[in-house]
């Protein structure tokens, strides 16, 4: 069932807090680079790795500590998930799913599905994954191509979602969409155009202040809000996840990150080496089977195109690798505020 990842993270991170040596504080994480030659060699020399490790330009200047900071999924206390519905599909709905699927191809007119975003130095992957999936679903279900604002939710969700650029809870991002909506990226962009006084660009800057005012003159904040009808988790059975993506579009998944993931270049990822460093969220857009016969999930990351396979990555499917099938979140887009939208296609 949904919620397995938050519980796993809660246990592991609590243990790490009680024993700092487990997360390598003594090894100088503030100065050591996350990209490590020994990890690259270990992965590439492993006979059953199934993936290739290398130097990702996006993380070239990141220390281990800075890398930990962008892994912004906080462990959700299990009690807070009690009222969250879990979606399952009937046997008949899961029988005729294709062996390979890519949301970019099925909904080729939805340009947001193929966009790779950049969270910068802000630990807001929890917000990025949610915003990306919701905007994709607006196009899929309502024919509206719209880019939504990560900045709105990072700055304005407050304690409901967590701590902004210092991490948050994916499911509560979806609940924010239900209760408050999210404005367009044009109204409240994540990256500033002048000087970039923002944690997306520079790690020295804190979570942005919630202003509830569009940056574009004559645009009204409340009129630019886009809402979700609901917020739910998807059952952890891989076929339930596949049915949800096939029927409704991309979903947000959370999973545990180990040091070797930073080095992913291609192939089907499974954890080989390195320490656990945090929790991350990304957008799951499809699935398939590799030439070597490994079933995989296809996902879009938000570390720009200088990481992984042009910003994308694959993870082994059906094994709940790093908890990736245990915390799947989504919601359906609302028609509120979109009538007559200039973005309609």
Residues of the chain with pLDDT under 70: 1-28, 192-200, 204-205, 339-345
Rounded to whole angstroms, what are the CA distances from 76 to 45, 80, 133, 230, 316? 36, 7, 20, 19, 24
What is the Cα–Cα distance from 262 to 59, expressed in whole angstroms?
A: 8
For residue 32, which of 66, 56, 70 has the smallest C-alpha distance? 66
According to CATH, what is the number of the domain 4-330? 3.90.70.10
**Domain ranges within the chain, ordered by starting residue:** 4-330
Q: Scan for tokens 């949301």, then name that residue.
A: 103
**How far apart, in whole angstroms, are the C-alpha atoms of residue 302 and residue 256?**
16
Residue 299 and residue 304: Cα distance in Å, rounded? Answer: 13
Strand partners, 254: 281
Give me the active site residues, please.
Answer: 125, 280, 301
Q: Evaluate whether 189 touches 149 at the Cβ level (below 8 Å).
A: yes
CA distance 102 to 289: 12
CA distance 72 to 165: 7
* Alpha-helix residue ranges (DSSP H) falling in the chain: 4-18, 37-44, 64-70, 103-106, 125-142, 150-156, 170-179, 238-248
**Among 245, 228, 340, 233, CA closest to 299:** 245
pTM across the whole model: 0.90
DSSP annotation of 75 reads: P
Q: How far apart are CA 2 and CA 233, in angstroms?
A: 6
Alpha carbon distances (Å) from 254 to 19, 180, 288, 296:
24, 23, 20, 16
Tell which residue, 36, 123, 53, has the closest CA to residue 303. 123
Q: Which residues of 73-91 are buried (b: 16+ CB within 10 A; e: fewer)?
A: bbbbeeeebeebeebbbee
pLDDT of residue 6: 46
pLDDT for res 190: 87
C-alpha span between 62 and 41 (Å, rounded):
19
pLDDT for 192: 60
- Compute the distance between CA of residue 341 and CA of residue 345 in angstroms, rounded to an integer: 9
């Amino acid at each position: 069932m949904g919620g397995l990842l938050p519980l796993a993270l809660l246990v592991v991170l609590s243990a790490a807090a009680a024993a700092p040596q487990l997360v390598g504080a003594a090894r100088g994480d503030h100065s050591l680079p996350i990209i490590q030659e020994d990890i690259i060699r270990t992965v590439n020399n492993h006979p059953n790795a199934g993936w290739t490790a290398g130097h990702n330009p996006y993380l070239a200047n990141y220390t281990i500590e800075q890398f930990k900071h962008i892994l912004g999924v906080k462990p959700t206390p299990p009690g807070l998930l009690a009222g969250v519905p879990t979606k399952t599909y009937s046997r008949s709905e899961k029988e005729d799913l294709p062996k390979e699927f890519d949301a970019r191809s099925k909904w080729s007119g939805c340009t947001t599905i193929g966009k790779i975003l950049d969270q910068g130095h802000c630990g807001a992957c929890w917000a990025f994954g949610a915003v990306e999936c919701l905007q994709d679903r607006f196009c899929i279900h309502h024919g509206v191509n719209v880019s939504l604002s990560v900045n709105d939710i990072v700055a304005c969700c407050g304690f409901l979602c967590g701590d902004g650029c210092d991490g948050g809870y994916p499911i509560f991002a979806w609940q924010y969409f239900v209760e408050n909506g999210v404005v367009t990226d044009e109204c409240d962009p994540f990256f500033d155009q002048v000087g970039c006084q923002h944690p997306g660009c520079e790690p020295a800057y804190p979570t942005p202040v919630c202003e509830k005012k569009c940056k574009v003159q004559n645009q009204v904040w409340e009129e630019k809000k886009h809402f979700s009808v609901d917020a739910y988790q998807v059952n952890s059975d891989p076929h339930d996840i596949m049915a949800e993506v096939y029927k409704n579009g991309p979903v947000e998944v959370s999973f545990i990150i180990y040091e070797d993931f930073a080095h992913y270049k291609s192939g089907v990822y499974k954890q080989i080496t390195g320490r656990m460093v945090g929790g991350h969220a990304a957008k799951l857009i499809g699935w398939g089977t590799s030439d070597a016969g490994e079933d995989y999930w296809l996902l879009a990351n938000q570390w720009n195109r200088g990481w992984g396979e042009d910003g994308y990555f694959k993870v082994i499917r059906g094994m709940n690798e790093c908890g990736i099938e245990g915390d799947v979140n989504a919601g359906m887009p609302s028609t509120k505020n979109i009538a007559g939208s200039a973005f309609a296609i």
